[in-house]
Amino acid sequence: MRIGLFGGSFNPVHKGHMALADTVMKELSLDRVIIIPNGESPYKSSDSYVSAGDRLEMCRLAAEDRPDIEVSGFETGRQGKSYSIFTAEHFRKEYPRDELFWLMGSDMLLYFDKWFRYRDILKLVNIAAVTRTGEDESQLVHTAEALGKYGNIIVVHHQPLVISSTEIRKMIKNNGELSCYLNEKVVQYIKMRKLYI
């Protein structure tokens, strides 16, 4: 099988995340994508995070009607910072014969060589760097070529939904209309749990 590993804070998960998963699934002929909400990110402040359990549940609700998308609690169940190498090692053991693709935004690829044990990650998984349509790709291509000596880097083109989790959190605080950005079940969960207010 060809499996995509899609990590992130998903704070909250939105339709842009799901659209990105769909694009990569189609472009790389993936059999499924595993969404992996992180626990404690080594790169981001967790001040604005809701609990790992809430983020995991929102991802499950967003993927509930999608048999080709699975949600994993591997990182949210770990103690300490969620370094990607540990996740890559875990899924390589889970799927020893399958081809794994680590999904990331093009901005992440540009500083991927700063990630903890990045060369070891490249031995375990392919990297699928998703670029926004119209983005200047010269630096991205240069970075992909430089990292290519350690593993396989694929650039995937995607027309994103122009919204971020940060903007959505602001909209929630201001009682904005969320249905065009969030799955309805996720909207109801946020309201029920009084998240981000």
- Listed by start position, the domains of the chain span 2-162
16-30, 44-58, 76-90, 174-188: which has the minimum mean pLDDT? Answer: 44-58
If one looks up domain 2-162 in CATH, what number appears? 3.40.50.620
Q: Is the pLDDT of residue 183 over 70?
A: yes
User: What pLDDT, on a 0 to 100 scale, did the predictor assign at position 107?
Assistant: 87
- Counting residues of the chain whose pLDDT is more than 90, the rounded percentage is 78
Q: How many CB atoms lie within 10 A of CB 154?
A: 14
**Angle at alpha carbon of residue 185, lines to 182 and 186, rounded to 5°:** 50
Find the largest Cα–Cα distance for the chain: 49
Q: Is this prediction's pTM over 0.85?
A: yes
Which residues make beta-bridge pairs with 7? Answer: 36
Locate 189 and state its tokens.
């969960």
Residue 53 φ/ψ, nearest 5 degrees = -65, -40
Q: Does the structure show a pLDDT above 60 at 46? A: no
| pLDDT (tens digit per residue) in 89-113 | 999 999 999 999 999 988 899 999 9
Task: Return d(Cα 81, Cα 76) in angstroms, integer.
Answer: 10
Interval 5-28: pLDDT, tens: 999 999 999 999 999 999 999 999
Beta bridge partners of 6: 35, 103
Average pLDDT across the chain, whole number = 92
- Burial class of residue 47 in the structure, from the number of CB atoms within 10 Å of its CB (0-12 exposed, 13-18 middle, 19+ buried): exposed
* Exposure letters 176-197 (e unless 16+ CB within 10 A, then b): eebeebbbeebbebbeeeebbe
Tell whether the model's pLDDT for residue 44 goes beyond 70. Answer: no
Q: What is the pLDDT of residue 45?
A: 54
- For every residue of 71-135, DSSP letters joined together read E--TTTTSSSB--HHHHHHHHHHHSTTSEEEEEEEHHHHHTGGGSTTHHHHHHH-EEEEEEETT-
Tokens 């009682």, located at residue? 175
pLDDT digit string, tens, across residues 68-91: 999 999 999 988 888 999 999 999
